[in-house]
Amino acid sequence: MVRVSVCIATYNGEKYIKEQIDSIITQLTDEDEIIISDDHSTDNTINIIKQYNDSRIKIFLNENEKGYTENFENALKKASGQYIFLSDQDDKWVSDKVNITLKYLIQDNYDMVISDCIIVDENLNTIKESYFKTRKSKAGFLKTIIKANYLGCCMAFNREVFKRSVPFPGKYKYLPHDLWIGLIGYAFFKVKTTEKKLILYRRHAKNVSDGGVKSKNTYIFKVQIRVYAMLNIIRCKYKKS
């Protein structure tokens, strides 16, 4: 039985993907897996991954609509582990991330863990010591509705959270995967938010998202996000009750 599934969504990530996988795979047991969903990369990403020749690494193509939320949903649906970790293609995990996170999930009986991280540049030089402090993050459902306080790449959760989260709501521009899963966690499960910094969160010219460091959304769009999120949480509550 697979204990840990690490889900990575890739797209033209040849520059950093090896460093990221190297930082992850040494922390896994023989029974764990890395699920990679690729959004039809046109660079050398897939060839680099295949060179590992490791049965724990499983590659799938995203045949859904292109985009990182759809790509992550595809990866999640392929995962078979009891505990699921989300990972970007271009970061680097600290050496004890898996053990620390599993302690919260297994020994302390949390359903979801959201950690802090160090923001770094493309060469792993520190930009900000703490994402949480940069964002002035505060945990909790209502606080997250007001202002997103976490990164998907800093999240891990058990299979019950996963089952409650899928399928994702259809309007991804309003509700990307990480905001949705985090809200599901805060609304229906026991969440541990830890100030331990468990990844180096890399910011570079080709990042797909702004990482929540500086929002460029208009006020109207922010209101639409919150209304859409609340409506879907309410639907989820009554659908599962």
Domains for the chain: give ranges and CATH numbers: 4-240 (3.90.550.10)
φ, ψ (nearest 5 deg) of residue 167: -70, 150
pLDDT at 212 over 80: no
DSSP state of 107: I
pLDDT band at 70 (very low <50, low <70, confident <90, very high): very high
Helix residue spans in the chain (DSSP H)? 17-25, 45-50, 68-78, 97-102, 131-135, 141-146, 159-165, 177-188, 219-240
**Residue 147 banded pLDDT, cuts 50, 70, 90:** confident
* Predicted TM-score of the model (pTM): 0.91
* Confidence class for position 149, pLDDT limits 50, 70, 90: confident
Q: Is the CB of residue 59 less than 8 Å from the CB of residue 36?
A: yes
Q: Report the candidate in 57, 9, 7, 8 with the shortest Cα–Cα distance to residue 30.
A: 57
- Tell me phi and psi for residue 88, to 5 degrees: -80, 165
Is a pLDDT exceeding 70 seen at residue 129?
Answer: yes
Residue 204 and residue 198 in contact, taking contact as beta carbons nearer than 8 Å: no
What angle is formed at CA 190 by the lines to CA 233 and CA 99, rounded to 5 degrees?
125
Q: In this structure, are strands 191-202 and 155-158 parallel, antiparallel, or unpaired?
A: unpaired
